[in-house]
């Protein structure tokens, strides 16, 4: 596996492959890799000749009181995991490479960025949209893979690629879970043993709620019940539990077409997010 740390080195390797007629799939990550990330690399390798993973803990998508400083960083372990997953190139730009001191641009995506995590984390999706746009333009891949685990983020990226005519195909990949249903996440490492025991309740409650709404229950009451059950079980705070149209993320009360139930709740100092289809 090759490693690049500057846009010029990244582009040189990718352009070489593309000149030989090979297609390239990009997998942006913030590192602290787990099997969920590696499943995106596997999908990229299935859909393209070459897989490129990026590791960059993007300061622009963290709020001032969020976990940027304590976000887990494990470069050597991550490189070994990427290599074992068949990744061809890892791109690890420094902050000064991505945001030189005169950097002044921000990309905001209206509509799908609003509500849900957009309301709880002001500026978060502008940070994501800006860094993903930079990574796509630096790499110029044929396709890029993002997880449904971050469902709103996936819709934001699909929107910006369509709006800005960036010539790349965006693929969504299903959420990989622990045996007990908890969505794999780099932030699960923050959980205490007691919190880890409670955490899979989120998936269980969302599964039941998705079934109820599918069977005709109203979204408002069902989501209220989910929040009540999780707080009673020991979750500390609910940012939201909501039902949205699967593509536009518009709020809906009854699922008539493809819909999604999405949630963000706190267990101690850890913010967990998850979502499931209703169809
Ligand atoms: P992150 O490093 O958390 O920014 O995630 C990088 C990419 O991996 C994003 O596209 C995420 O949606 C995706 N991802 C994170 N967790 C999972 C998971 N459990 N299953 C599948 N994809 C995931």
Tokens of 160: 């910006």
Can you tell me the distance from the alpha carbon of 24 to that of 68, in angstroms, rounded to the nearest whole number?
30
Q: Are 71 and 203 found together in one domain? A: no
Q: Are 223 and 163 found together in one domain? A: no
Can you tell me the distance from the alpha carbon of 81 to that of 174, in angstroms, rounded to the nearest whole number?
20
Work out how many domains the chain is built from and give that number: 2
Residue-level pLDDT at 278: 97
Give the CA distances from residue 235 to residues 82, 96, 228, in Å, rounded to whole numbers and listed in that order.
Answer: 34, 38, 10
Q: Are 240 and 264 found together in one domain? A: yes
Q: Is residue 224 part of a domain?
A: yes
Atom of ligand 1 at shortest range from CA of 148: 12
Residue whose C-alpha is closest to residue 210's, from 260, 175, 263, 172:
260
The CATH number assigned to the domain holding 44 equals 3.40.50.620
Give the CA distances from residue 161 to residues 113, 129, 166, 168, 187, in Å, rounded to whole numbers and listed in that order.
Answer: 14, 10, 5, 7, 27
Q: What is the Å distance from ligand 1's center to 131 Cα?
A: 15
Q: What is the Å distance from ligand 1's center to 215 Cα?
A: 30
Residue-level pLDDT at 236: 98
Q: Is residue 181 part of a domain?
A: no
To test ligand 1's pocket by mutation, which of 25, 68, 149, 155 has the most ligand atoms within 8 angstroms of CB?
149
Residue-level pLDDT at 198: 98
Q: Judge if the beta carbon of residue 186 lies within 6 A of ligand 1.
A: yes
Convert the pLDDT of each residue in 43-63 to its tens digit.
999 999 999 999 999 999 999
Q: Are 146 and 213 found together in one domain? A: no
Q: Are 131 and 240 found together in one domain? A: no
- Give me the helix-helix angle, 7-19 and 124-139, nearest 10°: 50
Q: Judge if the beta carbon of residue 113 lies within 6 A of ligand 1.
A: no
Q: Is residue 221 part of a domain?
A: yes
Tokens of 94: 């420094």
To test ligand 1's pocket by mutation, which of 25, 26, 29 has the most ligand atoms within 8 angstroms of CB?
29
Q: Are 18 and 71 found together in one domain? A: yes
- Active site positions, annotated: 37
Q: Is residue 263 part of a domain?
A: yes
Q: Which of 173, 202, 232 is the C-terminal boundary of a domain?
A: 173
Can you tell me the distance from the alpha carbon of 23 to that of 81, in angstroms, rounded to the nearest whole number?
22
Q: Is residue 179 part of a domain?
A: no
Q: Is residue 241 part of a domain?
A: yes
Q: Judge if the beta carbon of residue 147 lies within 6 A of ligand 1.
A: yes
pLDDT tens over the chain, length 279 residues: 999 999 999 999 999 999 999 999 999 999 999 999 999 999 999 999 999 999 999 999 999 999 999 999 999 999 999 999 999 999 999 999 999 999 999 999 999 999 999 999 999 999 999 999 999 999 999 999 999 999 999 999 999 999 999 999 999 999 999 999 999 999 999 999 999 999 999 999 999 999 999 999 999 999 999 999 999 999 999 999 999 999 999 999 998 899 999 999 999 999 999 999 998
Q: Are 194 and 84 found together in one domain? A: no
Q: Is residue 178 part of a domain?
A: no
Could you tell me the pTM of the whole model?
0.98
Measured by CA distance, the residue closest to atom 6 of ligand 1 is 29
Q: Strands, E, within 71-215: which ranges?
A: 89-91, 143-147, 169-173
Q: Judge if the beta carbon of residue 40 lies within 6 A of ligand 1.
A: yes
SS3 23: coil
Count other C-beta atoms under 10 Å from residue 157's C-beta: 26
Q: Are 225 and 128 found together in one domain? A: no
Q: Which of 173, 200, 217 is the C-terminal boundary of a domain?
A: 173
Q: Judge if the beta carbon of residue 198 lies within 6 A of ligand 1.
A: no
Using the structure block, give the residue that is written with the tokens 């960025």.
113
Q: Are 168 and 217 found together in one domain? A: no
Q: Is residue 143 part of a domain?
A: yes
76, with CB counted inside 10 A (0-12, 13-18, 19+), is exposed
Q: Are 190 and 169 found together in one domain? A: no
Count other C-beta atoms under 10 Å from residue 144's C-beta: 26
Give the CA distances from residue 24 to residues 29, 37, 93, 136, in Å, rounded to whole numbers and listed in that order.
Answer: 16, 17, 19, 11
Q: What is the Å distance from ligand 1's center to 128 Cα?
A: 13
Q: What is the Å distance from ligand 1's center to 185 Cα?
A: 7
- Give me the helix-helix angle, 35-47 and 75-84, nearest 10°: 40
Q: Are 161 and 214 found together in one domain? A: no
Measured by CA distance, the residue closest to atom 17 of ligand 1 is 36
Q: Which of 132, 147, 173 is the C-terminal boundary of a domain?
A: 173
Residue-level pLDDT at 266: 98
Q: Are 267 and 166 found together in one domain? A: no
Q: What is the Å distance from ligand 1's center to 184 Cα?
A: 8
Q: Judge if the beta carbon of residue 175 lies within 6 A of ligand 1.
A: yes
The CATH number assigned to the domain holding 217 equals 3.30.1300.10
Host domain of residue 257: 186-274
């Amino acid at each position: 596996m090759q490693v690049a740390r500057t846009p010029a080195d990244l582009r040189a390797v990718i352009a070489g492959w593309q000149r030989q007629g090979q297609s390239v799939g990009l997998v942006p990550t913030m590192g602290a890799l787990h099997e969920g990330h590696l499943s995106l690399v596997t999908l990229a390798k299935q859909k393209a000749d070459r897989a490129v993973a990026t590791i960059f803990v993007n300061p622009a998508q963290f709020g001032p009181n969020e976990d940027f400083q304590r976000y887990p960083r494990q470069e050597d372990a991550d490189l070994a995991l990427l290599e074992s997953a068949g990744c061809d190139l890892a791109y690890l730009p420094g902050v000064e490479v991505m945001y030189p001191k005169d950097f002044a641009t921000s990309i905001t995506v209206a509509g799908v960025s609003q509500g849900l995590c957009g309301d709880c984390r002001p500026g978060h999706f502008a940070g994501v949209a800006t860094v993903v746009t930079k990574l796509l333009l630096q790499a110029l891949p044929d396709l890029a893979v993002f997880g449904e685990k971050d469902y709103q983020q996936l819709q934001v990226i699909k929107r910006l690629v369509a709006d800005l005519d960036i010539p790349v195909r965006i693929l969504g990949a299903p959420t990989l879970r622990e045996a007990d249903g908890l969505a794999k996440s780099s932030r699960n490492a923050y959980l205490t043993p007691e919190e880890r025991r409670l955490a899979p309740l989120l998936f269980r409650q969302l599964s039941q709620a998705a079934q109820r709404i599918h069977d005709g229950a109203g979204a408002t009451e069902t989501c209220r019940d989910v929040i009540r059950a999780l707080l009673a079980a020991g979750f500390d705070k609910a940012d939201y539990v909501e039902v949205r149209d699967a593509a536009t993320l518009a709020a809906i009360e009854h699922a008539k077409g493809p819909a999604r139930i999405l949630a963000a709740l706190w267990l101690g100092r850890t913010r967990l997010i998850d979502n499931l289809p209703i169809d």
